[in-house]
Structure 1
Amino acid sequence: MNYAQLLFPDFSLILLGYLVCRFTQLNRPLWEKVEALVYYLLFPVLLFHSIVKSPLDLQLASKLMAAGWTLGFAGIALAYWLPHTPFLKRYIPGQDHAASAQIAFRFNSFIGLAIAERLAGPQGLQLIAVLIGVCVPLFNVAAVWPMARHAQRGFLSELVRNPLIVATVAGLISNLAGFRMPVWLEPTVTRLGAASLAMGLMAAGAGMQFGALARAKTLAVSVLTIRHLITPAIALMVSRLFALDTTQTTMLLAFSALPTASSCYVLAARMGYDGAYVAGLVTLSTLLGVVSLPFALGVLRAL
């Protein structure tokens, strides 16, 4: 399978968003409103719908869920350890690290959901929804914690206001309770979900920035190496540890190599950190995803 060709539609939307934002009158102020619409409404609807639309068999999904959590905890531990790493800690500014640690383990759900069905059909979409469902709360807690602690802000208040956590918890509870989307509402929700993917990918491109990356280069290289090289390698080991089947392994590898979440810089800026620096890291991560996804799915998957 030509993974580079498979991923082209999604990365072409990211490129289109970048070009439209930079070279037309549809500039950054407009895209900030688009990001807010996607982040607070469209994407939570898509996430909720992806989780509830198919019955979740916890017994069958338990190995994949455990693998996702294991992979997530490994990425979080590596990110948190950076300021304590010999030879690196003096080059890791505390405030920048608090805002940027999330780059190493968070993921772009827009891209994940967009490629899942093309990789493995409806089953792939359900599996990536399971991974998103179990990992979004963990990763958002891990992202908010160092910033809230460093800025001395309310940790729990930041979590309960996060729309992705609210949508995920609501989706999981609804699925396990047997809730199914009413037939008359399904077309509207499906169209909102489709809109969120296209707009989210374009918004990720529109938000790309490079200028603030001139400083804290060691931190930038460290978190991006964890995100795009170390995490996929760990995912391969985790898939073998939990004896995942072929489709589950494919989705875990794809999940491990996704670019970081475009909302990283939104969260950092909203909590009073240097959003421009985090946006630069998101930009580089988005570009590195063009390499890391084919690497994980083509090279590592063949091992």
Structure 2
Amino acid sequence: MVPATFVKLAAVNFAQLLFPDFSLILCGYLLCRYTALNRKVWEPIESLVYFFMFPVLLFYSIVRTPLEWQTATHMMAAGLTLGLTGILLAYSLPRWPWVGRYLDTRLHAASAQVAFRFNSFIVLALVDRVAGPQGMPLVAVLIGVCVPLFNVGAVFPMARHGQHGLWRELVRNPLIIATVSGLLVNMAGLGIPEWLQPTTNRIGQAALALGLMAAGAGMQLGRMAQAKTLATLVLGIKHLLLPVAALLVALAWQLDPTQTVVLLMFSAVPTASSCYVLAARMGYDGPYVAGLVTLSTLLGVVSLTLALGVLLPLR
């Protein structure tokens, strides 16, 4: 049985933990709308974040903690199972009865990623609070196996529906390049030199801040009203169905209590802030995706409480 203190501590800190992300989105929105820092300023910032800063963040997140591949096979399998479940649910939305035929295919291609991706910084910040030091290697395993899968899952529908070659986009995608490079370096037992780690860490922190502010700057909340059904379905998968699926996956793979806590937490955190940047850079409706990122950040409080406060005791 998981100690109740984990759940109580996590429940108290969810809103406090997510407030910085939401406030950065709000700052970007206000700056873009009410100051001279308009869209012309934010477009090159999006390019900087997408092509350099986010890849550094991903690479550092994967390399920083050695992955225990041999001793965490069940965790790897559970992460891949959960990830594929989220991707299949997101991809299947146009085929859902009664609602699927009303969904805009381009909007769906851009926003499907919101349903299964995760904010890695929130995961890394939260894991120690809910699972203790033993949770960090488990999160490293999940990041290592899920980030490549999720990046391919995010790029695939946009490349297929847009004027892009799928393999060309995958090979050239800076997030995928950074992820694969990080995995190879980690598997080789290498790492970032100690003298370079502070610089890399600061670039990663800046990437998170600028990525969230760019999402706020690109957000147009009025767009959300044009596709409310799609927004409800995508966020429903992310913040309701995935936590439930995570509990079932944990039971199926017979995860121990700590592994279960980590998987449930992983399933319930807000979506990745880079969803907006990726959609915008590939020529899709970035403002709509930015709105989804904002709502996901707010709904993270609810889904984390559901996962760790309601579903976890059922185990």
Quick check: TM above 0.5?
Answer: yes
Shift, 1:197, TM fit: 4.3
Question: Does the 8 Å contact 1:111/1:201 carry over to 2?
Answer: no
Normalised to the residue count of structure 1, the TM-score between the two structures is: 0.89
CA distance in 2: counterparts of 1:119 and 1:32, whole angstroms? 37
Pairing of 1:162-177 with structure 2 (within 5 A): 162-177=173-188
Shift, 1:162, TM fit: 2.1
Shift, 1:77, TM fit: 1.2
Query: Which residue in 1 is equivalent to 2:27?
Result: 20
Rate the CA distance shift 1:260–1:36 in 2: closer, same or farther, 3 A: same
Does 1:249 pair with 2:256?
A: no
Shift, 1:164, TM fit: 2.0
Query: For each residue in 1:180-218, what CA deviation from the matched residue of structure 2 results, as whole angstroms up to 9, or x when unmatched?
Result: 332322333333334444555555555554210112222
CA distance in 1: counterparts of 2:155 and 2:163, whole angstroms? 11
Does 1:49 pair with 2:60?
A: yes
Query: Which residue in 1 is equivalent to 2:10?
Result: 3
Pairing of 1:1-303 with structure 2 (within 5 A): 1-24=8-31, 25=35, 27=37, 29=39, 30-201=41-212, 203-204=214-215, 208-303=219-314
Question: Does the 8 Å contact 1:13/1:205 carry over to 2?
Answer: no
Question: Does the 8 Å contact 1:50/1:126 carry over to 2?
Answer: no
Question: Does the 8 Å contact 1:253/1:297 carry over to 2?
Answer: yes
**Root mean square deviation of aligned Cα:** 2.4
Query: Which residue in 1 is equivalent to 2:5?
Result: none
Shift, 1:28, TM fit: 5.2
Question: Does the 8 Å contact 2:235/2:296 carry over to 1?
Answer: yes
Shift, 1:4, TM fit: 4.0
Question: Does the 8 Å contact 2:49/2:210 carry over to 1?
Answer: yes
Shift, 1:32, TM fit: 4.8
Q: Secondary structure at the match of 2:24?
A: helix
Normalised to the residue count of structure 2, the TM-score between the two structures is: 0.86
Query: For each residue in 1:23-63, what CA deviation from the matched residue of structure 2 results, as whole angstroms up to 9, or x when unmatched?
Result: 45484545555544444333332332332233322111211
CA distance in 1: counterparts of 2:206 and 2:99, whole angstroms? 42
Q: Secondary structure at the match of 1:54?
A: coil
Shift, 1:16, TM fit: 2.5
Rate the CA distance shift 1:301–1:35 in 2: closer, same or farther, 3 A: farther
CA distance in 1: counterparts of 2:286 and 2:206, whole angstroms? 26
CA distance in 2: counterparts of 1:14 and 1:279, whole angstroms? 13
| Structure 2, unpaired ranges of 5+ | 1-7
Identical amino acids, percent of aligned pairs: 61
Q: Secondary structure at the match of 1:59?
A: coil
| Structure 1, unpaired ranges of 5+ | none
Query: For each residue in 1:149-205, what CA deviation from the matched residue of structure 2 results, as whole angstroms up to 9, or x when unmatched?
Result: 122411112112222211211111111112133232233333333444455555555
Rate the CA distance shift 1:297–1:79 in 2: closer, same or farther, 3 A: same
CA distance in 2: counterparts of 1:28 and 1:109, whole angstroms? 28
Shift, 1:272, TM fit: 2.2
